[in-house]
Amino acid sequence: MSTPNIALLIGASGGIAQALITELLAHPDIDYVHAISRTVIENNHSSVTSYALNSLDETAVAEFVQHQKSAATQYRFVISTVGILHRESSATCCSLKPEKRLEDIDPVQLQAYFEVNSVIPAIWLKHLVKIMPKGSASAIAFLSARVGSISDNKLGGWYGYRASKSALNMFIKNAAIEYGRRNKHVALLSYHPGTVDTGLSKPFQANVKPEKLFTPEFTAQCLVKLLTEAKAEESPYYLDWAGKTIPW
C-alpha cells in the first residue's frame, strides 16, 4: 500500500492551526490538507479542503469518518489543536477562567473544560481508528499541556484545565494500547507546544520570558518534525516542542 499523502487538521481556525497548514503542505509526504472547524475557514489554497463540523456532535464526526472511509481516504498525519483555557461568557456558554484556589471550582466550568479538552479528542480517537492506514506509518497528535502531567504538578491551581488535560493524556495512553492491537502502524502523541503567541495564552504572557514565547510557525515546525519521527512501536508519546519527554 502506498503512503497516504493527506493530513487531517481538527480545529483549523486558530493561530497554531493556520501555521500547521503551511507547514504540512511543505512536508514532502503531504500534498493535501483536510481542515475541520466549526465554520468553514477561508483559504485560497487549492490543496486545502475545509469542512464545517462541530466535533462535540459525535454523529457528525462518525458521518465524516464514514464518508472518508467510503472514499478510501486515509491520513498520514492527524493533528487536533482543539483546546480551551479561558473565554468570556455569552448567551450560549459560560465564562472560563483558570481557578486559583479550591473555592473557585465550579461544576459548570469543569464540564466545559472537559467537553473541549477531553471529550472531543476521545470522540476522534474512537472513530479515527477506522481510517488510519494499516500498511504504512501514520501519526495522530493532540495538543496537550505540561500542566496536564500529574507527577510534574508542583504549583497547583488551574483545576479544570489541568484535570481535563490529564484526562486527555489518559485517553491517548489508553487508546494507544488498543490502536497497537488494531493498527500497529499508528503512533499517538500528546504534544506540549509551550507558550505560543495566540489568543489562548494572551492573558498569561506577562511573566513569560521573550525567548520562551513561541510563534505559531515555530511550534508547527516542531510538531510536524515530531510526527515525522514518531514510531508506532514507541507509542504513546508525551513530548514538548523540543522533543523532550514529559512524565505522564
> Is residue 162 pLDDT above 60, yes or no?
yes
pLDDT tens readout for residues 38-90:
988 877 788 999 999 999 999 999 999 999 999 999 999 999 999 999 877 66
Three-state secondary structure readout of 116-150 = HHHHHHHHHHHHHCCCCCCCCCEEEEEECCHHHCC
Region at 185 (left for phi over 0; alpha for psi -120 to 50; beta for the rest)? alpha
Please confirm whether the linkage preceding 193 is cis (ω < 30° from 0).
no
Helix 15-25 vs helix 216-229: angle between axes, to the nearest 10 degrees? 50
pLDDT for res 48: 95
Region at 221 (left for phi over 0; alpha for psi -120 to 50; beta for the rest)? alpha
Contact of 9 with 82, CB cutoff 8 Å: no
Residue 20: its H or E element: helix 15-25
Model confidence band, residue 2 (pLDDT cutoffs 50, 70, 90): low
Q: What angle do CA 135, 141, 145 make, to 5 degrees?
A: 160
Distance CA(60)–CA(15), nearest Å, equals 24
| pTM exceeds 0.85, yes or no | yes
pLDDT for res 45: 82
User: Measuring CA to CA, which residue among 235, 236, 197, 233 is closest to residue 215?
Assistant: 197
Q: Which residues pair with 96 in a beta bridge?
A: 87
The structural domains of the chain, ordered by start, are: 6-85+113-240 (3.40.50.720)
User: 111 phi and psi, to 5 degrees?
Assistant: -60, -40
Q: Cell numbers 500528546 label which residue?
A: 190
Distance CA(123)–CA(127), nearest Å, equals 7
pLDDT tens readout for residues 193-228:
988 766 555 555 556 556 667 899 999 999 999 999
Per-residue cell: 90: 455569552
Distance CA(191)–CA(238), nearest Å, equals 6
Contact of 74 with 133, CB cutoff 8 Å: yes
User: Measuring CA to CA, which residue among 194, 193, 188, 155 is closest to residue 169?
Assistant: 188
Average model confidence (pLDDT) across the chain: 91
